Amino acid sequence: MKRNIYLRTIPIEDALAKVKAVLDRKALVGVERIGAEHAAGRITAEPVIARYSSPTFHSAAMDGIAVRAADTFLAREGAPVRLAPGEGFVFVNTGHPLPLAFDAVVMIENVVMDGEVATIESPVAPFAHVRRIGEDIVATEMILPRHRRVTPYDVGALLSCGAYEIPVYERVRLRVIPTGDEVMDFTAHPEPGPGQVVESNSMLLRALAESWGMECTRVAPVRDDPEALAAALEEGLASDAHVVVIVAGSSAGSKDFTRATIERVGEVLVHGVAAMPGKPSLLGHARGKLVVGAPGYPVSSVVCFERLLYPLACWLSRSEPQSRQRVQATLARSVPSRIGMVDFVRLAVGQVGSAYVALPLSRGAGSISSLTKAQAVTQLAPEAEGLESGARITAELLVDAGELSRTLVCVGSHDNTLDLLADMLMRRDPSVRLASSHVGSMGGLIALKNGAAMLAGSHLFDPATDDYNFPFLAKYLPGLAVTVINLAIRQQGFIVAPGNPKAIRATADLARDDVRFINRQRGAGTRILLDYHLGKAGLSPEQIQGYGREEHTHMAVAVNVKTGAADCGLGVFAAARALGLDFVPLARERYDLVIPQAFAADDKIAAVREVVGATAFRDSVEALGGYETDWTGRVMEPGMGLPGA
Q: Which CATH superfamily is domain 437-628 in?
A: Periplasmic binding protein-like II (3.40.190.10)
Please list the residue range(s) of the chain that carry CATH number 3.40.980.10.
12-27+172-316
Report the range of poorest mean pLDDT among 336-350, 355-369, 385-399, 563-577.
355-369
Q: Give the pLDDT confidence score for residue 55 in this predicted structure.
A: 86
Task: Characterize the bridge pairing of strands 517-520 and 550-551.
Answer: parallel
Q: Give the pLDDT confidence score for residue 385 in this predicted structure.
A: 81
Phi-psi region of 633 (alpha: psi -120 to 50; beta: other; left: phi over 0): left
Residue 69: pLDDT over 80:
yes
Helix (H) or strand (E) holding 496: strand 482-496
**Distance between CA 592 and CA 77 in Å, rounded?**
78
- Model confidence at 255, pLDDT cuts 50, 70, 90, reads low
561 and 496 Cβ atoms separated by less than 8 Å: yes
- Model confidence at 437, pLDDT cuts 50, 70, 90, reads confident
- Model confidence at 6, pLDDT cuts 50, 70, 90, reads low
Report the range of poorest mean pLDDT among 221-235, 269-283, 367-381.
367-381
Please list the residue range(s) of the chain that carry CATH number 3.90.105.10.
31-54+136-169
Residue 7: pLDDT over 70:
no
Residue 216: pLDDT over 90:
yes
Residue 469: pLDDT over 60:
yes
What are the angstrom distances between the C-alpha of 344 and each of 300, 308, 380, 386?
Answer: 10, 14, 7, 11
Residue 285: pLDDT over 70:
yes
Contacts 24+ apart (CB under 8 A), 75-81: 75/120, 75/121, 75/122, 75/123, 76/121, 76/122, 77/121, 77/122, 78/121, 79/121, 80/112, 80/119, 80/120, 80/121, 81/119, 81/120, 81/121
Beta strands in 145-279 (DSSP E): 165-169, 173-178, 183-184, 197-198, 215-218, 243-247, 267-271, 275-276
Residues 6+ apart with CB under 8 A from 596: 448, 454, 480, 481, 482
Digit-coded pLDDT (tens) for 292-347: 999 988 899 999 999 999 999 999 999 999 889 999 999 988 888 888 889 999 99
Residues 6+ apart with CB under 8 A from 190: none
Provide the CATH number for the domain formed by 59-131 in this structure. Answer: 2.170.190.11
Q: Give the pLDDT confidence score for residue 263 in this predicted structure.
A: 93
Residue 55, preceding peptide bond in cis (omega within 30° of 0): yes
Residue 252: pLDDT over 90:
no
Q: Give the pLDDT confidence score for residue 542 in this predicted structure.
A: 95
192 and 198 Cβ atoms separated by less than 8 Å: yes
Digit-coded pLDDT (tens) for 588-617: 999 999 999 999 999 999 999 999 999 999
596 and 578 Cβ atoms separated by less than 8 Å: no
What are the angstrom distances between the C-alpha of 186 and each of 174, 192, 232, 389?
Answer: 21, 8, 19, 41
Digit-coded pLDDT (tens) for 169-206: 999 999 999 998 888 888 888 788 888 888 989 999 99
Please list the residue range(s) of the chain that carry CATH number 3.40.190.10.
437-628
Q: How many CA atoms lie within 13 A of 200 on its CB side?
A: 14
Q: Give the pLDDT confidence score for residue 368 in this predicted structure.
A: 77
For 203, other C-beta atoms within 10 Å of its C-beta total: 16
* Amino acid identity at 366: G
Rounded mean pLDDT, 226-242: 95
**Distance between CA 556 and CA 572 in Å, rounded?**
11
**Distance between CA 179 and CA 182 in Å, rounded?**
9
**Distance between CA 118 and CA 114 in Å, rounded?**
6
Q: Give the pLDDT confidence score for residue 250 in this predicted structure.
A: 60
Rounded to a whole number of angstroms, the CA Rg of the chain reads 34
DSSP 235-260: HHHHSS-SEEEEES--SSSTT--HHH
Longest dimension (CA), the chain: 113
Rounded mean pLDDT, 499-525: 94
Task: Characterize the bridge pairing of strands 482-496 and 456-458.
Answer: unpaired
- For CA atoms 516, 520, 521, 522, give the dihedral sign: negative
Terminal-residue alpha carbon distance, the chain: 66
**Distance between CA 247 and CA 172 in Å, rounded?**
18
In this structure, which topology does domain 326-400 adopt according to CATH?
Beta-clip (2.40.340)
Digit-coded pLDDT (tens) for 110-153: 999 999 999 999 999 999 999 998 888 888 999 999 999 999 99
* Residue 378 φ then ψ, to 5°: -125, 155
- Model confidence at 509, pLDDT cuts 50, 70, 90, reads very high
Rounded mean pLDDT, 392-405: 90
Of the candidate CATH numbers 3.40.980.10, 2.20.130.10, 3.40.640.10, 3.30.470.10, the domain formed by 12-27+172-316 belongs to 3.40.980.10
Helix axes 441-449, 525-536, angle to 10 degrees: 130
Distance of CA 147 to the CA centre of its chain: 29
Residues 6+ apart with CB under 8 A from 319: 43, 147, 149
**Distance between CA 133 and CA 56 in Å, rounded?**
5
- Model confidence at 1, pLDDT cuts 50, 70, 90, reads very low
In this structure, which topology does domain 31-54+136-169 adopt according to CATH?
Molybdopterin biosynthesis moea protein, domain 2 (3.90.105)
Q: Taking all residues of the chain, what is their mean pLDDT, rounded to a whole number?
A: 92
